[in-house]
Amino acid sequence: MHQHNQIENRSLRNGKQPCRPCSRVYLFMIPFALILFGATIGAVLTAVIQIPTRTSRTATTVTTTTATAATTVTTTTSTSTSTTSKTTSSTSSSTSTTTSSTSRSTNFPIIYTQNFTFGVTSSSQCTAWNIFRSLLINHPCTSLTISGTNNPTGITLTNSTYATAIANAMRTNTAYGPVSSNGYLWAVGICGSADELTATGSVCTCTTGYTLRPCVGNSNWGGINGATCSASSQTMTVIFH
């Protein structure tokens, strides 16, 4: 109080009144300052709280994009595998067709030619005869020729029907004939373990002429243009055209 009175006395001495209303204005401004400060703090806190939310959205977007890319890669790989499978399948079909076509092909002429020795059983010649017969598959033949050392030109059956029938009979080891053509009697019949081919008209006999019986099992294996039993050493040939 004493100091206050001194201030007032000085003011009075200077001709000035003390400013009590100013003190009241300052008191009223304090609440407004607090409100403004609170609003600023709230804005800052709001901004801080929103930052995690934005980060979360960004992370979600990245995850979705990655999943889509993975799906696309899987689809592309599946398509490529399917295409390869079809290609492999087409190649296998072409190979099978080629093999089938090759197995059915036949080459003519089909030739049997062997050397026979007087007084010797024709063993290896019989093996070759059986292989020769197996090659006479069921295809038309135009002609048949028998030749050898004693007649290199030989004799020829030009009737294609007879030639084909003789080939089939020899292949199946069955009898056929005799049939007359080109001045000879052509026939097939069993003599020993396999067919005999003759142009004498008589099967498994010693008739002179043209006969081959390599599988007879003894030295009477036939002959060309001469004896057909105990014949001299010679080469005998049969050709189907």
| Residue 157 confidence (pLDDT) above 70 | yes
Q: Which residues, other chains included, contact 111 with Cβ-Cβ below 8 Å and sequence gap of 6+?
A: 132, 237, 238, 239, 240
pLDDT-derived band at 106 (thresholds 50, 70, 90) equals: low
CB 159 within 8 A of CB 138: no
Q: How far is CA 104 from the centre of its chain?
A: 21
Locate the DSSP E strands across the chain: 110-116, 144-148, 151-157, 176-181, 184-191, 194-198, 209-212, 222-226, 234-240
**What pLDDT was estimated at residue 53?**
41
- Please count the other Cβ atoms lying within 10 Å of the Cβ belonging to residue 42: 10
Top-confidence residue, 55 or 184: 184
| Residue 104 confidence (pLDDT) above 50 | no
Q: Which residues, other chains included, contact 167 with Cβ-Cβ below 8 Å and sequence gap of 6+?
A: 136, 141, 144, 240
Domains in the chain: boundaries: 1-105, 110-240
- Predicted TM-score (pTM) of the model is 0.57
| Sign of the CA dihedral with 23 first, then 28, 34, and 36 last | negative
Top-confidence residue, 178 or 91: 178
